[in-house]
Amino acid sequence: MANKKTEEGSNNRRNFLRLGLMSSVSAVAGATLISNLTADEVEPSGEKIRVLTPDGKMVEVDAKSINKYPEAVITPTESRKGIPDKKFVMVIDLAKCKNARKCVEGCQKAHKLDDHEEFMKVQLIQNNEEGSPYWFPKPCFHCDEPPCVTVCPTGATFKREDGIVLIDNERCIGCKFCITSCPYSARQFNWGHKEKFEDKSQPYSPETQVPAAEGTVMKCDFCPDMLRQGKLPHCATACPMGVIYFGDKNEDIVTNGSETVSFSQLIKDRGGYRHLEHLGTKPNVYYLPAVNRQFPVERGFDVDEEIIERYKDVPFVKELKEQGKL
């Protein structure tokens, strides 16, 4: 069994690499980056998955050929399984971030989020008074020891085999316990009713979290619907600086759409770390420290007044304001 896995793994790796190269040519065109499970030489897994097509039909397909139905909606039950043999990971290169906010906007558009509903948040972090502040894009970390999953009383929040942590808003009872449990404030609550919840043109799936529902929780989902189509999550595609790398740990490969690299090598070479490692939540989002930066941090203030206001408590921003530079 294990042998078979490795064999498949190496097969997939070939595909993935090939695609990785291809993607460097047609990056934003959304070439299939996550090894195309549909590649002809891949044997059917024998495991069946039921999916809902956009016109409302339930079809049964082999787990491995799911990508043949890129438009398919994965039902809440199916969404608990995850994409076979994958272990998704994200690497965020802080040295390249200039608070362009394209990741935030891309994500909001795809998930039909309103203002202030941000699965991806760009924070301004200053580690100490002397330290130079840096922009810190923060999604859900899809922890391997996710406290949110542990405390959820109904299993509405769950961890899948491919490492992704999702929420089934048809099961969530709105106790908000998971929000308090997340040390990274990654979760948001739908406090009231909104018109967009009624838009049922797209059948609900935990993989897209659309439409959202009143009294339930939502958060960054790593865009599994895109991954099933072999595409990158919306934030990674949207970033003009290539800050966000995404990939598969099993394959040891990550890409930001224009550059495909070995995950372990990247972490080794660039001193990758995880935020608040000492909590032991084992995030699947890694950061490359903000050294040798491509932009001075001030470049990030080239945004709306309202956005700047968000960071008013950061010592550096206070200083700038005092000096009248903002």
Partner 1 sequence: MEISNKLINDLAPTKFGKRGVIWTISLIIISIAGIIAYIDQVVKGQVVTNMNDYALWGIYISNFVFFVATSFVGAVTVAVLRLTNNAWRTPIVRIAEIISVASIIMAGLTIMIDMGRPDRLLYLFIHGRMQSPIIWDVIIIPTYIVICLLLLYFPLLPDLAILKNHFSKTNPKLSKWYGILSLNWSGSEKQKSIQLKSIQIIAILIIPAGFVLQTVDAWLFSTLFRVGWDSTNMGAYFISGASVAGVGALVTVMYVIRRANKLEAYITDYHFDKLGKFLVLTCLIYLYFNINEYVIPEFTSKKEEITHLNHLYSGQYAPLFWFVIIGGLIIPIIVLLFKKGRKPLPMFYVGMLVVIGSWWKRFLIVTPTLLQPFLPIQGVPESWHHYFPSFHEWIITFATLAMALLIITFLVRYLPIVPIQRTADEQEETEINKSVISKTVTP
Shortest distance (Å) from residue 20 CB to partner 1 = 32
Give yes or no for residue 141 binding ligand SF4 (CB under 6 A): yes
Contacts for 105 with CB less than 8 Å, ≥ 6 apart:
238
Shortest distance (Å) from residue 182 CB to partner 1 = 8
Give yes or no for residue 176 binding ligand SF4 (CB under 6 A): yes
CA distances from 79 to 47, 51, 66, 83, 204 (A): 14, 9, 12, 9, 11
Give the one entry of partner 1, ligand SF4, none that residue 193 binds, where binding means its C-beta sits below a cut-off of 5 to 8 angstroms depending on kind.
partner 1
DSSP string for 29-85 = TT---S--TT-TTSPP-S-EEEEE-TTS-EEEEEGGGGGG-TTPEEPHHHHTT-STT
Shortest distance (Å) from residue 283 CB to partner 1 = 12
Give the one entry of ligand SF4, partner 1, none that residue 123 binds, where binding means its C-beta sits below a cut-off of 5 to 8 angstroms depending on kind.
partner 1
Give yes or no for residue 123 binding partner 1 (CB under 8 A): yes
When the beta carbons of 44 and 153 are compared against ligand SF4, the nearer one is 153
- Rounded CA gap, 34 and 237, in Å? 13
- Rounded CA gap, 188 and 120, in Å? 11
Q: Which of 34, 72, 140, 239 binds ligand SF4 (CB under 6 A)?
A: 140
- Rounded CA gap, 125 and 101, in Å? 16
φ/ψ (deg, to 5) at 243:
-70, -35
Give yes or no for residue 163 binding ligand SF4 (CB under 6 A): no
Shortest distance (Å) from residue 259 CB to partner 1 = 28
When the beta carbons of 113 and 266 are compared against partner 1, the nearer one is 113
When the beta carbons of 83 and 100 are compared against ligand SF4, the nearer one is 83
Q: Which of 125, 303, 320, 326 binds partner 1 (CB under 8 A)?
A: 125
Give yes or no for residue 90 binding ligand SF4 (CB under 6 A): no
Give yes or no for residue 61 binding partner 1 (CB under 8 A): no
Give yes or no for residue 143 binding ligand SF4 (CB under 6 A): yes
Give yes or no for residue 223 binding ligand SF4 (CB under 6 A): no
At 208 the three-state DSSP class reads coil
Shortest distance (Å) from residue 149 CB to ligand SF4 = 7
Structure tokens at 203: 């059948």
Contacts for 269 with CB less than 8 Å, ≥ 6 apart:
none
- Rounded CA gap, 87 and 18, in Å? 19
Binding site for ligand SF4 (CB under 6 A): 140-143, 146-148, 151-154, 156-157, 165, 167, 172-178, 182, 184, 186-187, 217, 219, 281
